[in-house]
């Protein structure tokens, strides 16, 4: 199988890097930190999130690993303290997951999404332009900015955001493209499909289905689950980030997703099967969500061509991990909230 290797994977003698993962308290940031610790031979990996790390089922004990540290700093309200940390550590690479998520709820208090996803990040990037130690800033975008599509779309697809959340993410992507073009700000953008992983909060469909199966609750399946999305294990995304850092030309934007989308109903069916249960045992049909897009589908040929990335973790392996995680932490997550809560 075609696969380019990073300098570390080829055993080359290169300087060890310090990585900062913003949004590092979330599950995708945690999996990225773990992947870098295990595969990038870093000098240090620093996670930064707005809250202290959550309990073990969600932090996966990342803070107990060597060469890792975590800081609770709010990118919107504590930019000065964040910059003090960055100037002290001088990371070569900053990876940004920090965002207000959940497009479905962004119709209310939508300014909150622009406050973080556009304004706070633009303020940070403007400060980072002044720092000579930064080699690469990798922004994690979203496939939702393409809107609902009827084919796999490339990075040149016209932007058609269908929620305030997606629009707020578009705004910062376009900002990055402009500061690279005119000021050579060292950036890349990765637009992944919907990710899942052990440690993901329970308002997301896959961990919530696992939780329902283990607790006897029922998942409300909006619109019968006919909407199709492209799903990616967070470890595959972490590998994409590492390869982009090691091999990609600066200024490029990449989609990162599987070859084909999967209906949400099929995702729930597969998860129920991984639990050893029937589809109807874990969910009940409900009305469609307001503003629900019918299909997210990415053409990821550019990232494969440039850095050799393609997904490696299939449904069977990924869902087996999710079920094992649910069983391991069943008592701790039993009463954990399953609804998304919007905060500053």
Tally the domains of the chain: 1
On the question of pLDDT at 2 being above 60, the answer is no
How far is 283 from 269, CA to CA, in rounded Å? Answer: 9
Q: Is residue 30 part of a domain?
A: yes
Work out the number of other CB atoms within 10 angstroms of the CB of residue 304. Answer: 16
Mean pLDDT of 114-120: 97
On the question of pLDDT at 103 being above 80, the answer is no
CATH number where 66 lies: 3.40.50.720
Tens of pLDDT along 182-229?
999 999 999 999 999 999 999 999 999 999 999 999 999 987 888 899
CA distances, 177 to each of 76, 163, 167, 187, 188 (Å): 21, 21, 15, 8, 9
Tens of pLDDT along 65-96?
999 999 999 999 999 999 999 999 999 999 99
- Residue range(s) defining the domain that contains residue 84: 18-196+234-259+292-313
On the question of pLDDT at 12 being above 90, the answer is no
Confidence of residue 13 (pLDDT cuts 50, 70, 90): very low
The token pair at 73 is 């700093």
Q: Is residue 13 part of a domain?
A: no
How far is 218 from 98, CA to CA, in rounded Å? Answer: 31
Q: Is residue 98 part of a domain?
A: yes
Q: Is residue 223 part of a domain?
A: no
- Facing residues of 20 across strands? 46, 94
On the question of pLDDT at 266 being above 60, the answer is yes
286: exposed, middle or buried (Cβ count in 10 Å: 0-12, 13-18, 19+):
middle
Q: Is residue 116 part of a domain?
A: yes
Q: Is residue 102 part of a domain?
A: yes
Mean pLDDT of 299-317: 98
On the question of pLDDT at 177 being above 60, the answer is yes
How far is 218 from 164, CA to CA, in rounded Å? Answer: 29
Work out the number of other CB atoms within 10 angstroms of the CB of residue 11. Answer: 8
Q: Is residue 24 part of a domain?
A: yes
On the question of pLDDT at 3 being above 60, the answer is no
Q: Is residue 137 part of a domain?
A: yes
* Residue 91 and residue 17 in contact, taking contact as beta carbons nearer than 8 Å: yes
pLDDT attached to residue 14: 54
Q: Which of 107-121, 133-147, 277-291 has the lowest mean pLDDT?
A: 277-291
pLDDT attached to residue 288: 63
């Amino acid at each position: 199988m075609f696969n380019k290797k990073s300098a570390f994977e080829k055993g080359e003698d290169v300087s060890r890097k310090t990585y900062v993962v913003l949004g590092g308290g979330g599950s995708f940031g945690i999996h990225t930190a773990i992947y870098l610790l295990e595969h990038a031979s870093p000098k240090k990996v620093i996670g930064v999130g707005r809250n202290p790390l959550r309990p073990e089922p969600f932090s996966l004990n990342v803070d107990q690993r060597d060469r890792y540290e975590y800081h609770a700093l709010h990118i919107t309200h504590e930019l000065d303290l964040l910059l003090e940390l960055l100037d002290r550590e001088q990371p070569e690479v900053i990876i940004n997951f920090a965002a207000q998520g959940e497009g479905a709820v962004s119709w209310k208090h939508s300014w909150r999404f622009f406050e973080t996803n556009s304004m706070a990040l633009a303020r940070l990037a403007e400060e980072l332009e002044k720092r000579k130690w930064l080699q690469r800033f990798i922004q994690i975008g979203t496939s939702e900015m393409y809107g609902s599509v009827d084919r796999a779309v490339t990075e040149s697809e016209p932007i058609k955001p269908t929620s305030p959340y997606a629009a707020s993410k578009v705004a910062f992507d376009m900002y990055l493209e402009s500061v690279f073009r005119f000021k050579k700000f060292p950036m890349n953008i990765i637009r992944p499909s919907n990710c899942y992983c052990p440690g993901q909060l329970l308002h997301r469909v896959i961990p919530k289905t696992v939780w329902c199966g283990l607790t006897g609750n029922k998942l409300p399946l909006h619109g019968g689950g006919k909407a199709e999305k492209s799903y990616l294990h967070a470890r595959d995304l972490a590998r994409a980030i590492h390869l982009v850092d090691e091999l990609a030309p600066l200024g490029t934007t990449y989609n990162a997703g599987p070859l084909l989308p999967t209906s949400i109903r099929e995702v729930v069916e597969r998860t129920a099967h991984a639990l050893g249960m029937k589809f109807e045992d874990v969910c009940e049909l409900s009305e469609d969500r307001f503003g629900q897009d019918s299909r997210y589908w990415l053409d990821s040929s550019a990232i494969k061509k440039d850095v050799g990335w393609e997904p490696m973790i299939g449904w069977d392996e990924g869902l087996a991990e999710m079920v094992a995680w649910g069983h391991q932490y069943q008592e701790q997550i039993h009463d954990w909230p399953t609804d998304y809560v919007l905060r500053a």
